[in-house]
Amino acid sequence: MEVGAVAGMRYVKNGIKAARLVMLYTQHTMLVGDQASAFAISMGLPGPSNLSSTESMEKWIKWKENQCQPNFRKNVVPENSCGPYYRKKDVNVGEKTCLVEDVAEHIRMKSSYVDFHNHDTISMAIFDKSGHIAVGTSTNGASFKIPGRVGDGPIAGSSAYGDDEVGACGATGDGDIMMRFLPCYQVVESMRLGMEPRVAAKDAISRIAKKYPNFVGAIFAVDKNGTHAGACYGWTFQYSVRSPSMDDVEVITVYP
């Protein structure tokens, strides 16, 4: 139950090390934004650094030339430009106020940003010789996200969760959707109740897909004995495994 996280952090390259520093040297769970960067640098990590690359700048320039499309805005005008953005006119229904939106289409479009070519989440679970479990997740976040956006990467129980008594879980995919379900917490608790990793992972993914049938995501689950499995929805997912008895890493392919 020791947790450290950072979010919205710039100017420091190694986010997972910064998160570990929060866990080891503060009584907090999460630090965010430039203050998280300042903390990480004060604790010895290199920075401030310019983390932009030639590739990322070219990608951003092309996106701007394409009127900042696609993006994660909804219920705003203008729809096809770089802003500034304004709220669409509210629609009054009786005493309630709502916004007209095709929810299914919105989720379909947003999830289409997540695929093998634009996703960089790394989620890991480590078991030491004493049976203690550590988990961690690191990501750049969604491409073309709105500044200030925080996905499921630093959210304990969403992108990763572990319990020495049970096992561990890691997740990747459409974090804005997945974090609403804390799928890795769900997986670990399901295994605590006796579910096999394969069943627990499939159950957690199914819970999300039932509410959001167009989302994209994947989970790996491993119990305290080392039995592991994965489940995915909307893409073909791969995870890797290595134990002291293995000569090399084994890559497992999981199909939707």
Q: Which range marks the domain in which residue 13 is found?
A: 5-42
Would residue 107 count as lying in a domain?
no
Percent residues over pLDDT 70 in the chain:
88
Same domain assignment for residues 228 and 157: yes
d(CA 57, CA 116): 20
Same domain assignment for residues 178 and 61: no
If phi > 0 it is left, if psi is from -120 to 50 it is alpha, else beta; for residue 174 that is beta
Q: pLDDT averaged over the chain?
A: 90
User: If pLDDT is split at 50, 70 and 90, which confidence band does 27 have?
Assistant: very high
Q: What is the pTM of this model?
A: 0.87
Would residue 113 count as lying in a domain?
no
Would residue 192 count as lying in a domain?
yes
Whether the CB-CB separation of 159 and 176 falls below 8 Å is answered with no
Q: Is 160 exposed, middle or buried (0-12, 13-18, 19+ CB in 10 A)?
A: buried
Same domain assignment for residues 151 and 242: yes
Span 128-146, average pLDDT:
93
Same domain assignment for residues 19 and 126: no
Which tokens hold the place of 154? 């630093």
Q: ∠ at Cα 5 (7, 249), nearest 5°?
A: 105
Q: Which residue has the higher pLDDT, 91 or 220?
A: 220
- Which backbone phi and psi does 233 adopt, to 5 degrees? -150, 125
The secondary structure element, H or E, covering residue 250 is strand 250-254
Which of 121, 137, 139, 172 is catalytic? The answer is 121
Rounded to a whole number of angstroms, the distance between the first and last alpha carbons of the chain is 32
pLDDT for the residue numbered 107: 47
d(CA 138, CA 37): 15
CA distances 89 to 105, 199, 246, Å, are: 20, 45, 60
Would residue 106 count as lying in a domain?
no
Span 178-201, average pLDDT:
98
pLDDT for the residue numbered 100: 47
121 in catalytic set = yes
CA distances 247 to 12, 30, 228, 244, 251, Å, are: 35, 37, 18, 8, 13
Same domain assignment for residues 128 and 237: yes
